[in-house]
Structure 1
Amino acid sequence: MRFQLLGPLSITDGRDVVVLPPSKPTALLAALLIRPGSVVSTDHLRGVVWGEDQPATAKAALQSCVLRLRRIFAKYGIEDQAVTAVAGGYRVRADAGTLDLLHFRQLVDRAAGSGEDSELYTLRAALALWQGPLLANVPSDLLHRDEVPRLAEERLRVLERVGDIELEHGRCREILVDLWEVTRVYPAHERFSEQLMLALYRTGRQTEALAEYRRVKGRLREELGVDPRADLQRLELAILRGDDLGTLDTGRAPVSLAPPALPEPRDASPEGGTTGGERRPA
């Protein structure tokens, strides 16, 4: 069995996916999986589960919540990944074969030491592990405030690197749709707008590249009262001057990028796949 944290919190056997219901045990499990193998303090867990409105008997209530979570584990036959009580808190052990977050990080680390061709496909395999809005079924204001943005930033760094590789290979047309989407979903991430402007310019769409700069500039001034960062300003000037910013995309991929075979995550069981069949609620 495998935990999926990169989306709605769920459990999968590689075929079926069980999406856990929004509940206090689900919030507790999310808090433990975000710090896999580490001791998570009881104070932090109570804050995750109850926030500011902690019950008068918070210690006993947390123990009851842990018991409910253990029953969920027993229901799906994953007692071997039990919640362990330790001094000062609780812990859930996981590895790249049982938790998609660790598999994602493993692939990202592996990609960094490979050649660009292999790096691109390894990073795309890592991105494919993300299955939708992060922790959408986890009812915890604390996790959504403190942990979700940090985890999302890990994905953004990979998206940014994928864009850089595609642009370096001259695959501007191939990356345009992805860049349009990501700049609208993450408007504050100026690097994506910079990549989009470059891709548009290299495909002969200078007017649209400049329009993207004006859109970013207008949003920043309206919302924050600041100008775009220096890199974006320099790119706008280069586009206005018609500078050579790399070979124009002719619609042909200049580099053959054949996907390498990706090894299974370490310590994975034969059933510990990352994608499954039917997704169903618990």
Structure 2
Amino acid sequence: MVIGTGRREVVVRSSLRARVLVVLVVNAGDLVSRECLVDEVWPSDPPAGAVGSLHAHVSRLRGDLARWGVGDRIDIAAEQGGYRLRMTGVGLDVEDYEGLAATAHRRRRTAAGEVPELARAALRLWRGEPFEGLELGLRGHLARARLQESRMALFEALVDTALTSGRHQDVVAELRELTMVFPFREKFHEQLMVALYRCGRQVEAVQAFHGHRERISRELGLEPSPALRRRMTEILRHDPALWQAG
């Protein structure tokens, strides 16, 4: 996790205090109970006096924020039952990303032409994995998984929009990369097959299916889903439905 101070960027290293900060950031502006934070910092075996230890970690975290030059803009307020992260004049990439992603998904129904710009703007905010390098508790892992799922869904929406608008040639290279980075995300394989077919590359579309099938059979002992097998059948039959997919 990186905090930009305006003059430099501070990389937050893995520590118990970092676990506290992650939960507060994910719930910025909301009251987070002490019980929630104790569970996050010590998920299986909280020490005796865990609440007091938590208070000490929060105190040190306030000192960290001051040392990083953002203590006047990022405040951890102690309130009845918990803590609240308050920020003044500070933006969170995660909030900006989620706002752009939500707008992109809404525009698919009303103004599809705006989706690529919105989606690309959201995806540019990604710099590595969420909370990279940090040892996370349960809520941190859940937040990371939610953001990763959101990112993949945004890629899917971006490609679907391109396919719907007839820009299949523009997404083949990106889909090749996506199927390598996310090999078990079947939607990307389906989109790649459709894009290749529309580009007149039926053989490569068939090869893409069999490559995916062989990998999941070898590594997971699974077969492609019925939906992907139907798409393969459409490709073999030159089904006109392939030109409506997207």
Compared CA separation, residues 60 and 228, structure 1 to 2 (3 A): same
Compared CA separation, residues 80 and 97, structure 1 to 2 (3 A): closer
| Aligned counterpart, 1:86 | 79
TM, length-normalised to structure 2: 0.87
Alignment match of 2:204 (pick from 199, 203, 208): 208
The one-letter code sitting in structure 1 at the alignment partner of 2:29 is G
Question: CA offsets per residue over residues 63-92 of structure 1, 9 Å max, x none?
Answer: 011011111221213333211222322121
| Aligned counterpart, 2:123 | 127
- Tell whether the 8 Å contact from 1:96 to 1:106 is kept in structure 2 after alignment: no
Compared CA separation, residues 97 and 162, structure 1 to 2 (3 A): farther
Map of 1:37-52 to 2, 5 A cutoff?
37-52=29-44
- Tell whether the 8 Å contact from 1:10 to 1:17 is kept in structure 2 after alignment: yes
Map of 1:91-130 to 2, 5 A cutoff?
91-93=84-86, 98-111=91-104, 112-113=106-107, 115-130=111-126
- Asked if residue 65 in structure 1 is aligned to residue 65 in structure 2, the reply is no
Compared CA separation, residues 165 and 97, structure 1 to 2 (3 A): farther
Compared CA separation, residues 176 and 96, structure 1 to 2 (3 A): farther
How far off is 1:174 after superposition?
Answer: 2.0
The one-letter code sitting in structure 1 at the alignment partner of 2:35 is D
The one-letter code sitting in structure 2 at the alignment partner of 1:164 is D
Unmatched 5+ stretches in structure 2: none
- Tell whether the 8 Å contact from 2:97 to 2:123 is kept in structure 1 after alignment: yes
- Tell whether the 8 Å contact from 2:74 to 2:90 is kept in structure 1 after alignment: no
Compared CA separation, residues 144 and 77, structure 1 to 2 (3 A): closer
- Tell whether the 8 Å contact from 1:96 to 1:103 is kept in structure 2 after alignment: no
| Aligned counterpart, 2:171 | 175
The one-letter code sitting in structure 2 at the alignment partner of 1:45 is L
The one-letter code sitting in structure 2 at the alignment partner of 1:63 is H
CA distance in 2, matches of 1:193, 1:55: 48
SS state at 1:92 partner: strand
Alignment match of 2:70 (pick from 77, 81, 85): 77
Alignment match of 1:36 (pick from 17, 28, 49): 28
Unmatched 5+ stretches in structure 1: 1-8, 248-282
| Aligned counterpart, 2:13 | 21
How far off is 1:61 after superposition?
Answer: 1.0
Compared CA separation, residues 64 and 151, structure 1 to 2 (3 A): same
CA distance in 2, matches of 1:128, 1:96: 21
Compared CA separation, residues 158 and 94, structure 1 to 2 (3 A): farther
Higher helix content, 1 or 2: 2
- Tell whether the 8 Å contact from 2:73 to 2:89 is kept in structure 1 after alignment: no
The one-letter code sitting in structure 2 at the alignment partner of 1:40 is V
The one-letter code sitting in structure 2 at the alignment partner of 1:246 is W
Structure 1 window deviating more from structure 2 (204-213 vs 48-57): it is: 48-57
CA distance in 2, matches of 1:66, 1:144: 17
Compared CA separation, residues 195 and 222, structure 1 to 2 (3 A): same
How far off is 1:224 after superposition?
Answer: 4.6
How far off is 1:44 after superposition?
Answer: 2.2
- Asked if residue 193 in structure 1 is aligned to residue 186 in structure 2, the reply is no
Question: CA offsets per residue over residues 71-119 of structure 1, 9 Å max, x none?
Answer: 1221213333211222322121359961111111211233324622222
Q: Which has the higher contact order (CA 8 A, sep 6+)?
A: 1
Identity %: 35
Question: CA offsets per residue over residues 214-248 of structure 1, 9 Å max, x none?
Answer: 2322344445544322321111001111234239x
The one-letter code sitting in structure 1 at the alignment partner of 2:80 is A
CA distance in 1, matches of 2:161, 2:54: 47
| Aligned counterpart, 2:236 | 240
SS state at 1:147 partner: helix
Aligned residues: 239
SS state at 1:134 partner: coil
